[in-house]
Amino acid sequence: MNEPSGVNRGSANDTNTLDDLREDGGRGPSDSPDPDRAFAFGAFTLQRSRRRLERDGATVPLGDKAFEILRALVEHAGQIVSKVELLRQASIANDDSLRFHIAALRKALGEGRYIANVAGQGYSFVAPVSRLLIEAAVERRRPLARPLPARLRPLIGRNDVLKALPPQLLEHRFVTIVGPGGVGKTSVALTLAHDLASRFDGDVCFFDVGSVFNSEFLEGGLAAALGIPGQPSDAAPGIVTVLRRRRMLLILDGCEPGVDAVASLAETLFQEAPDVHILATSREALRADGEHVHRLFPLGYPTVGAGATAAEALEFPAVQLFVERVASSLHDFTLADEEAPLVSGICRKLDGLALAIELAAGRVDSFGVREVARQLESQFALLWPARRTAIARHQTLNATLGWSHQLLSLREQTAFRRLSVFAGGFNLQMATAVIADEEISEAEAIELVGSLVSKSLVQFNREDCHGIYRLLDMTRSYAFDRLTEANEAGPIAERHARLIRRILENGGLSGTDDFTSRAVDLLDDVSSAIEWSLSPEGDPEIGAALAVGSAPVWLQTGLLVECKYWMARVLNAVGPTVLGPARELALQSALASAETFTEGFTKESFKNWQRCYATAIALGDVLEQVTCLVVLWAHRIRSPDYPDALELARTAENLVLASPDRGVRALADWMVGISNHHLGRLETAKLHLERSLAGDTLEARQAMMAQFGYDRRIPSIGALANLHWLEGRPDAALEFGATAVSEARRSPYPVPLCEALTWQALTVHLRGDDPDQVDALLDEALAHARPHFIESYVGLSLALKGLNEALRGDPTRADLVSEGLDLLSKSHYEVFHPLILTEFARVRAQAGVRLDSDEIAELLQLDIGVPENWNSAEVRRNLGEVLLRQGDAGKAAQLFAASADGAERQGALGWGLRTALSIARSATGQASRRQSKDRLAALLQRFTEGLDTADLQAARLFLADSVY
């Protein structure tokens, strides 16, 4: 690169030593030649003859003795100057005084390592030094009217940017940092100005373009900042003349107000001042010759569900900035786990904008984290004040956005405020639909969107193949205020609601191929559109249509709580005349499905479905009748009331018996098969489930998935896996379960995956040979169930985890079992209660825990008056083992006998082997022991697979060790 005019860039090796000078006549440093030369290092210039130290043209005050010490060290940079010599040159009496002046010098020089202490010898000036004539130094360091602002605190989350920009700037000479207001462009530019100052020998000028309110005075303002005399409106020639002789870094900050004038001036300087490097900041590119654009994006922040703990949240730069800024005013502040989700939400709400995060952090000292998070939901957040020293456009978020807004044309302002109606992302067709009207054509609307993107008011995700736009959250709030002020909020909200309805009813977005993958991005807009529709000025018919059209999307994405909320809102707010039977059935179906997998069915919901069923019968609509029967049947299965469930399933079977639709018949077979499985009628269950799988169609399954967010194929395979285990085929059970899990993982629906994982976990648990895999499967199920609030599968997973821990030798995990069963009860899903409760009691009893009489009585109630079902044999065996250890051998024997009879009757070889082993172990007389061992051996011989499972190993070991 070129050197500044008149500068001789020497090095420490070019300087003479004290001895060399004395050999030239015995002159000391004060008598050295060339008194009109100056020394330059870093941002400093030391003028020897004028006895002045300057930094960026401004005088640095130094005492006479300190100046003499610095002069002696600088003149011999890289050399060791002894303490004796420095004491002599500065006329200092002792070492203490010398150390005092050295410390003062180091403080005056500020950042950077200039003076080094050489132990036992003296001091050395270690920074590179250049020599130049006084005239050149004066020209080179002409005092600036606006010195470089003070260095900011270290930037957080911008290391990559601060590393990437210097090479770009040094290579291309003209770089513009572009980004939305408040993203941190000024902070990055100012940090770079300080970091790069030494590269330009301290010749750096920081000019706030925004301080010039009239672009006609831009040149004069820059000339003043550069310390160049000139006319306010015609200073460009003088600026060019001066800057041609300088190698400097020029920062043009906040170029939006006069972007055309700035672009013209910057282009001129780039072309005619070859040693000037220009770093501009703007909310839009200058589009000038030679410009290289560097887009500055918001800080990374936790997505929904992330940042739940302090450790997780602090991995994100936005949270790091928030915590650092809070800690600067609250010195004992540390992020606690309970506050981490709130802070993550704040940073997410603020879209990672550095200014917004700093403003929010500044409120914590007065209001606390929770209240700041609450205030963010109001427009009040736009008025949070910044630090007093911030420039005007950074004083509040409102000022920052207002600065951008006032620079828009009237048409741009109209487009900007109308886009605020979108709660989420939108594509170009959606944007034009809300912007265009009688005055603004679609073609003009497209151009307006592009203009707003270029000005960083609308964000465009180039990585999304569908071309998605969005407004940052605070930007949207500001724009919506402008929409309200313009009295357009109502009409634009209606236009938006009709647009979202049209998209849902058309099954896709114009210009996109995969509606399913994009529809989830519409849900925020669906919510806001329904909210408007149900408002006093809204249209309930549009709200009903939106709810029906969005129901499959809520269910598919596993947003069950949200689905339940909106379906219930519309059902309660929209009358039957507007809804009509078909829409009411659709909404009731979605609501029932969401309820099933969150808190479960209620008595009220069951009655509602009975009314829907009566309506469907009156209409003669067979398919709607089957839909209602599916929901009523699911309610009875989960209660559990298996006989009633089977009756409902057979009613559905009779309805579709003559139907030509194989998929509908497969649905009925599935209902009958699951009912018989739960009743312990294994052969019948297997027949219907296998027939359902063989005859089902993708179209019919997809119809059910769209309606309920549920794929019946997955539970069919899961139930068959359990049937295989019950009938004595453990390996086949494992393979079937693995198939169900594999297929469910490829499905977009969370409920079938949770179901497949828990069925497989139960299978592995029953095998007893891999507790680690049980834990892994249940952890995966919890990871999917918890974010979607599928409480029934959270409960089942926790309960099974407690059992697994107990079998591993820790029978104290009653907390997991209790928590899991409580969640299952709240979800009205008590299918597994008898099995889990009695097994946990058995494990505890076998570990030596004595159960009290009340608990024993409660456990026995689980088998009294209950119809026989798929786990009755194991429940009775578990109860027998508990009573055996409580000393009631007679009652235990009765329960073992009932268990054995039930297992034999059902063909449940898996339960039968377990019961036979319990009977053999508890037998007392010789004849009884022989008979029980023969029975155990006979059952063991019926197994052809799963020989390494825990039950088969235990049976073989018992037979081998015992004697007749």
DSSP 834-877: HHHHHHHHHHHHHTTPPPPHHHHHHHHHTTSSPPP-TTHHHHHH
Helix (H, G, I), strand (E, B) or coil at 96: helix
Residue 175 to residue 757: CA distance in whole angstroms: 54
Nearest CA among 224, 233, 294, 275 for reference residue 258: 233
Contact 183, 298 (CB under 8 A): yes
Helix (H, G, I), strand (E, B) or coil at 541: helix
The amino acid that residue 273 corresponds to is A
Residue 38 is classified by DSSP as E
Residue 916 to residue 939: CA distance in whole angstroms: 8
pLDDT of res. 940: 94
pLDDT of res. 897: 95
pLDDT of res. 229: 63
Helix (H, G, I), strand (E, B) or coil at 485: helix
Give DSSP secondary structure letters for 546-609.
HHHHHHHHHHHTT-HHHHHHHHHHHHHHS-HHHHHHHHHHHHHHHHHHHHHHTT---HHHHHHH
Give the distance, in angstroms, between the CA of residue 527 and the centroid of all CA atoms in the same chain. Answer: 21
In the block, tokens 């018989």 appear at 676
pLDDT of res. 63: 80
Provide the phi-psi class of 728: left if phi over 0, else alpha when psi is between -120 and 50, else beta.
left
pLDDT of res. 387: 45
Residue 440 to residue 448: CA distance in whole angstroms: 10
- Helix pair angle (397-405, 354-375), 10° resolution: 120
In the block, tokens 């098969």 appear at 673
Residue 182 to residue 172: CA distance in whole angstroms: 26
Residue 327 to residue 320: CA distance in whole angstroms: 10
pLDDT of res. 155: 86
Please tell me the total number of residues recorded for the chain in this structure: 964
Contact 480, 203 (CB under 8 A): no
Nearest CA among 697, 788, 778 for reference residue 749: 788
Residue 327 to residue 321: CA distance in whole angstroms: 10
Residue 333 to residue 339: CA distance in whole angstroms: 11
Nearest CA among 584, 591, 665, 590 for reference residue 623: 665
The stretches of 307-455 forming alpha helices (DSSP H) are 310-313, 317-329, 340-349, 354-375, 397-405, 410-419, 428-435, 442-454
Residue 58 is classified by DSSP as E
- What is the token pair recorded at 666? 């497969």
Contact 281, 252 (CB under 8 A): yes
| Parallel, antiparallel or unpaired: strands 115-118 and 122-125 | antiparallel
Q: What is the mean pLDDT of each run of 10 residues along the chain (964 residues)?
A: 34 34 34 58 76 75 84 85 86 82 83 74 80 52 56 84 91 90 86 88 84 70 76 70 85 84 90 91 88 90 84 90 84 85 85 80 78 69 44 51 78 92 89 93 92 84 71 82 90 94 74 52 90 94 93 81 90 88 83 73 76 83 87 87 94 91 93 95 95 92 78 91 95 94 87 92 92 93 86 91 85 79 84 91 88 89 86 95 92 94 95 95 89 94 93 93 62
pLDDT of res. 950: 93
Residue 830 to residue 678: CA distance in whole angstroms: 12
Helix (H, G, I), strand (E, B) or coil at 461: strand
Give the distance, in angstroms, between the CA of residue 852 and the centroid of all CA atoms in the same chain. Answer: 48
Residue 380 is classified by DSSP as G
